[in-house]
Structure 1
Amino acid sequence: MSKVTVRMRTRYATAEQAIEPGKTGLVDAQEAKALVDGGYAVLVDAEGKDTPPRRITPGKTKTTPPASTPADGDEVPDASVTKVTEWVGDDRDRATRALKVEQERGDRARVSLVDHLTKMLNAEPAPGDSDGGEQQ
């Protein structure tokens, strides 16, 4: 059976190994599918970098990259609430994108991040901001 490298978000232990949060480990493709689909891990590429979520078919671990990949730093980070809010800063466009990504997590959406982003987006834009909307 093929093996896939994953970076764990939570502790994961089997009879053969234990992988701590933030560390990588080699697991069967079928295990990797369950871990990634459940939000417990992310796939890691050959260079050791986290990869965007993708579907894993046991026995077929190669995928074709998306047709258009956002420029470095332009993609919502798959990271802690603190890291996401640092990435957003005061950029309303990034806040909108981050909120959409977080809400797509469904039951796993982090309430504190959703609340922060929602409050930011519902606040009046600062004078001089050109977000295309009219102030009321």
Structure 2
Amino acid sequence: MRCVVQRVREASVTIGGERFSSIGAGLLVLAGISREDTEADLAWMSRKLPNLRIFEDDEGRMNRSVKEIGGELLVVSQFTLYADASRGNRPGFTESAPSEVAQPLFDRFVELLRRESGLPVETGSFGADMQVSLINDGPVTIILESPKK
């Protein structure tokens, strides 16, 4: 599992011109599910994200987690995180899990993240054409990948 994590002041998802979901300060998480991902990958990521210390403490050091600041999470499925553009100019997506596999894993990941974090967790709409807006705070952007098997 691969996630691009952005510390945000706010973020939202719009679908068909209508606001679908939004958060205030917290994390925007673009989540990619690979063909190889299992429940263990989802569990690892759902434990890692709420405890990732990328928010500033009183001394200006990144030493606080989204849990510690009482933030929110917006999680958006992003199969393109497993794009392979090493040959040619058109990316291939063979490493991404097919949607019939990825959607239940994504839904399970969100469920685990809600339980692990105890924080509000909003989502995009799996497979939809979404416009994602954000105000990046810092900017701070981290790429996380579940441990290799």
TM-score, normalization by structure 2: 0.22
**Greater fraction of residues in strand:** 2
Higher RCO, 1 vs 2 (CA within 8 Å, ≥6 residues apart)? 2
**Greater fraction of residues in helix:** 1
For the pair shown, the structure with the greater C-alpha radius of gyration is 1
TM-score, normalization by structure 1: 0.23
